[in-house]
Structure 1
Amino acid sequence: MNFFKTSLLLAAMTAIFMGAGYLIGGRGGMVIALLVATGMNLFSYWNADKMVLAMHHARRVDRASAPEYYAIVERLAANAGLPMPAVYVIDNPQPNAFATGRDPEHAAVAATTGLLQMLDREELAGVMAHELSHVQNRDTLIMTVTATIAGAVSMLANFGLFFGAAGRDSDNRSPLGGIGVVLAALLAPLAAMLVQMAISRTREYAADRRGAEISGNPLALASALDKIAGAARRVPNMTAEQNPATAHLFIINPLSGARMDNLFSTHPDTANRIRALMAMADDGVRRPAPQPVADGPWSRPRGPWDGGGSSGTGRPPNRGPWG
């Protein structure tokens, strides 16, 4: 996303925050919400990535503690012409990953232990290339700031619902009384969620495409998406459930019971993403020459399209570099 789109989205989130403040506390509430939103935007610019990583209990790893994982990210960052990001692991059984950071020089990528255990080396490379494409496209700032402000909108709405429309004067009273408080509690979080979703679907398609270019293997990323989507429906991510405003950060929606292509989904339909990647393979994006792989969790070929069963959207036609 370019600077203009980033600024526009932040303005929209700020407007939602101010609108909730107005419905809860009138003009006084709106002014307070504006001041809080301004402070949060500044704070989020510098600290949202740290907050998101802390929310999901991510721990930083290096070449010594996670040699294969770190080497994959290092090679992909070099392929993309990016600085080496900080590399994190999240102790969570659900396979998933996200990227964060305000710019490529202050970026981080994180993968769950479930992801590292499930995917083979090339599938993992496809996922991490997808995340690095978010860094390269500068999606990560808006993703993390939006998650922070969306969470704050929900907290403000709940605060107003709990304390009601009390105020000493007309400037500090909801113009609609109790109805305004209820509307803020119901509509403000919904509006914030819709703003998040407005950018999420096209952003994910773009990241899939660029990630396949960085890794050189669109079918490996397609296979990884198929595996992750199937497992995410079965394995709960309790941390994400407790922090739903961060759901759009992940490569696959981490929330249980999510319908992947309805109005309220933060992610596009996985089958559509896989078809787009398969079309890329047919258009000539091929995987690079095989790299020597040491024994480890990513050295065994066990993807759904290389001899295993599909976990999500079904086996594609037998074509491409694995055909």
Structure 2
Amino acid sequence: MGYLKTAILMAAMTALFMGLGYLLGGAGGAVIALVIAAAMNAYTWWNSDRLVLRMHNAQPVIRGDRMGLHALTAELARAAGMPEPAVYLIDTPQPNAFATGRNPANAAVAVTSGLVRSLSRDELAGVIAHELAHIRNHDTAIMTVTATFAGAISMLANFALFFGGSRERLGLIGTLLLMFLAPMAAALVQMAISRTREYAADKAGAEICGNPIWLASALEKIALGAARIDNHAAERNPATAHMFIINPLHMHKHDNLFATHPATENRIAALRAMAGAAPQGAAQPRYKSGVPTTRNRGPWT
């Protein structure tokens, strides 16, 4: 997604938030809403990575780990021309991964133990490259801000019933509609940003690792695993679902307005088309690991 479109969506979220503040308290309410939004996002900006990692009980992976996660991430980060992020492991059988952090210099990639067990090294490289693309494109910061706005808008909408100002302007029926429509509008903006950026990260991740088929194959396996294996931490913290490479919640599978991710089959089709359009010999790995890659097709732990 282009930065102009992202800026427009963020402006819409800010306007919606301030509009709620105005309906609750007039011009003063709009100013207060803006101040609250700025304070919430400032806190989230500096602490988002630690908050999300703590929610999922992610544990740091040290350099030289036996799985080779740290080394693989470092090689891919060099191929992407970006700082090496911290690496974390989440102890859950569901295969999945996400990235977090306010910028490439302060970022982390977290993968689940189920992901490491179920993917080949090539496929894992594709997944990590996808997460690195999110970091390099500053998606992690943008998604954190939109999630914070969405939560704040829902909070203000719930407060609407308890403030006379909104009832005087809208009436009881209007206030009730506001309670439902404002959070829905915020969620749609959040989903629009998340869904479009998944396609962009897929494309950039395939370019980083050098082979779109690796990521396409990984997405197939992750989608199957996420559909049948629970991720209890994600179920307790559904606001983080949009951060994962595949929706960790057992929800909608269709590519519609209310899905946090594009349909997996559409993403896979785009990656396979990308592989088919590449010049012969172009799909070569851009990282140089000491562990064989193209010959390793099974779980590599």
TM-score in terms of structure 1 length: 0.81
Query: Structure 1 residues 287, 122: closer, same or farther in 2, change over 3 A?
Result: same
Aligned to 1:288: 285
Q: 1:4 to 1:48 in 2, by over 3 A?
A: farther
Do residues 51 (structure 1) and 86 (structure 2) align? Answer: no
Shift of 1:154: 2.6
| 2-structure distance, mates of 1:186, 1:8 | 23
| Matched position secondary structure for 1:260 | coil
Are 1:302 and 2:301 an aligned pair?
no
Question: 1:151: Cα distance to partner?
Answer: 2.5
In the TM superposition, residue 198 of structure 1 has moved relative to its aligned partner by 1.6
The range that moved more, 29-38 or 211-220, is 29-38
CA drift at 1:132:
0.5
Report the Cα offset of residue 68 of structure 1. 0.7
Per-residue Cα deviation, 1:189-214 (whole angstroms, up to 9, x for no partner): 21111111222233111111111111
3-state SS in 1 of match to 2:245 = coil
Query: Is the CA contact (8 Å cut-off) linking 1:89 and 1:111 kept in structure 2?
Result: yes
2:95 touches 2:226 (CA, 8 Å); kept in 1? Answer: yes
Letter in 2 for 1:286: A
How far apart are 1:27 and its partner, in Å? 4.7
Residue 230 (1) aligns with residue 227 (2): no
CA distance in 2, matches of 1:256, 1:75: 33
Cα contact 1:90–1:110 (8 A) shared by 2: yes
8 A contact 1:165–1:181 mirrored in 2: no
Q: Which moved more, 1:105-114 or 1:5-14?
A: 5-14
Residue of 264, 272, 277 corresponding to 1:270: 264
Find the counterpart in structure 2 of residue 41 from structure 1: 41
| Correspondence for 1:74 | 74
Q: Which moved more, 1:68-77 or 1:239-248?
A: 239-248
C-alpha displacement at 1:250, in angstroms?
1.2
Change (3 A) 1:210 1:240: same
Q: Deviations over 1:260-292 (max 9, x none)?
A: 312211211211211121122222342339854
Secondary structure of the 2:262 match is coil
The amino acid of 1:69's aligned partner reads L
Task: Give 2:186's aligned amino acid.
Answer: A
Aligned residue for 1:107, secondary structure, equals strand
Which runs of no fewer than 5 residues in structure 1 stay unpaired?
Answer: 304-323
Would you say the 8 A contact 1:26–1:174 is kept in 2?
no
What is the DSSP-based 3-state SS (H/G/I as helix, E as strand, rest coil) of the residue aligned with 1:176?
helix
Cα gap change, 1:202/1:213 in structure 2, threshold over 3 Å: closer, same or farther? same
Relative to structure 1, is the Cα distance of residues 9 and 237 closer, same or farther in structure 2, using a 3 angstrom cutoff?
A: same
In structure 1, distance between residues paired with 2:285 and 2:169: 63
| % identity of equivalent residues | 59
1:176-255 matches, cutoff 5 A: 176-255=170-249
CA separation of 1:224 and 1:132: change in aligned 2, threshold 3 A = same
Q: Tell me the amino acid that sits aligned with residue 288 of structure 1.
A: P
For the residue of structure 1 that corresponds to 2:162, the secondary structure is: coil
Q: In the TM superposition, what whole-angstrom CA distance separates every residue of 1:130-186 from its partner, at most 9, and x where no partner exists?
A: 01011112212101222222223233334x26xx3344xx5x765224334422321
Name the SS for the 1:100 alignment partner: strand
Structure 1 contact 26–175 (Cα < 8 Å) conserved: no
Change (3 A) 1:63 1:174: farther
SS of the residue 1:134 aligns to: helix
Structure 2 stretches of 5 or more lacking a match?
A: none
Q: TM-score, normalised by structure 2?
A: 0.86
Q: CA deviation at 1:5?
A: 4.9
Q: Using a 3 Å threshold, how does the CA distance of structure 1 residues 165 and 58 change in structure 2: closer, same or farther? A: same
**Preserved CA contact (<8 Å) 1:93 1:235:** yes
Cα distance in 1, alignment partners of residues 170 and 270 from structure 2: 48
Distance 2:114 2:155 in 1: 30
- Map of 1:311 onto structure 2: none
Could you tell me which amino acid in structure 1 is paired with residue 291 of structure 2? Answer: V
Contact 1:96 1:250 survives alignment (8 Å): yes
Rate the CA distance shift 1:152–1:52 in 2: closer, same or farther, 3 A: farther
Change (3 A) 1:292 1:94: same
Matched letter for residue 302 of structure 1: G
Q: Does 1:133 align with 2:133?
A: yes
Aligned residues: 293
- Report the equivalent of 1:121: 121
Quick one: distance in 2 between partners of 1:241 and 1:155?
20
Give distance in 2, aligned partners of 1:96 and 1:112: 6
Q: How much is the aligned-residue C-alpha RMSD, in angstroms?
A: 2.6
